[in-house]
Amino acid sequence: MAEKKVNTFAMAIGLGRDLVAKPEMPPEMLLKQFLAQKKHPQLIRRIYQLVDNGKKVGQEVYDDLLKSSATRPQSFVAAWNLVKEHKRLPADGVIRKVFLSMAESGIMQQKRFASKFKEDLSKLKIPLSGGALADYSKSIVVDKRSKRSSELYGVCKEISSLGPEAVQENKSVFTRLMVDVAKNGQLETVDAMISELREFGVPVDVDRYCYKARIIALGRRKDYKEVVEVAKEASQRLTFDIRLYHSLMDAFQRCGKLRETMKLFYKLRDEYSKEDRELTPTVTTYNLAIDALCRHGRLKEAEELYSEMMANGLRPRTMDLNVIVNS
């Protein structure tokens, strides 16, 4: 076992020597070794050295550096400055990969870098495709929903300017904005957006998110009758998924309809999930039911559902526990 450790250490030393002490190694191979180890600062310094000495560095190296450093804030800033200085600007595919990596990184600081990156691309007059704009929209993180809606609206306008095909290919940005707006109860805005999407050729009549947005907005307005009508229309045109059922449960609860909320919960748990495993109740399903029961003073039933949820291996977040505690 000890010998294996020594050999591994020796290999690491050997690799380090290869990176520094072998001028005959092709530059591209040397740079790829730095990249494979995610040694971004060393890689950036080495690129500067090579270029200063008149060596050529391929576009692929710059592209790979940007993509690899996209989840590391400080490294990305240095990499992007290098790319701009050497005028090795990325193509659309690389830009999309960077936006997606930033959005999926889970690092708030890095997500906010996406906005600066997009701003720089605009200053450099690099046009963004509808797909790139859609990928960028996934990184939009702000504290207030109204501000996020404003940011998303700006992206939607940019996509719309690219024509119907871009809108059709990236309708998810529009539907995400609709859901945001719906949570503010802005039904008229939701309906206007649906009409606009229809004009662009998007099949809104069979889109779950369009119905979800309308149900959410109507629930915020406590318009139970219209919630039921929209739900009936949706059931005739498409198959409900668990998220659409969640929106319906939430709307019922906001309209003060405990009986309907719980009826839908029990149908999901006892009937629908037996026919379709995708409709198996999740933490969100239980939370909606527990919240509704607590709001109507049915604490014993809420506690029973909570115990059932835990027994099923579903773990609520701390904020979810506050519903029962505060009740």
Identify whether residues 33 and 118 lie together within a single domain: yes
Two tokens, residue 139: 């990184």
Model confidence pLDDT, tens digit, residues 147-201: 778 888 889 999 999 999 999 999 989 988 899 889 888 899 999 999 989 999 9
Whole-number percent of the chain with pLDDT over 70: 85
Residue 27: name the closest of 56, 64, 62, 52 by CA: 56
Residues 6+ apart with CB under 8 A from 264: 245, 248, 249, 252
Identify whether residues 100 and 169 lie together within a single domain: no
Identify whether residues 72 and 106 lie together within a single domain: yes
Identify whether residues 123 and 148 lie together within a single domain: no
Identify whether residues 29 and 39 lie together within a single domain: yes
Query: How far is Cα 232 from Cα 105, in angstroms, rounded to an integer?
Result: 39
Per the structure, the complete domain to which residue 157 belongs is given by 142-210
223 within a domain of the structure (yes/no)? no
Query: How far is Cα 199 from Cα 85, in angstroms, rounded to an integer?
Result: 43
124 within a domain of the structure (yes/no)? yes
Identify whether residues 30 and 135 lie together within a single domain: yes
Q: What is the per-residue pLDDT for 205?
A: 86
DSSP state of 204: G
Identify whether residues 122 and 196 lie together within a single domain: no
Model confidence pLDDT, tens digit, residues 282-319: 999 999 999 999 999 999 999 999 999 999 999 876 54
pLDDT, greater one: 35 or 193? 193
Residues 6+ apart with CB under 8 A from 184: 145, 146, 149, 220
11 within a domain of the structure (yes/no)? no
Sign of CA dihedral 96, 101, 106, 111: negative
Identify whether residues 117 and 29 lie together within a single domain: yes
Identify whether residues 179 and 125 lie together within a single domain: no
Chosen domain end from 153, 184, 210: 210
Two tokens, residue 325: 């505690």
pLDDT of 14 strictly over 70? no
Give the number of domains in the chain: 3
171 within a domain of the structure (yes/no)? yes
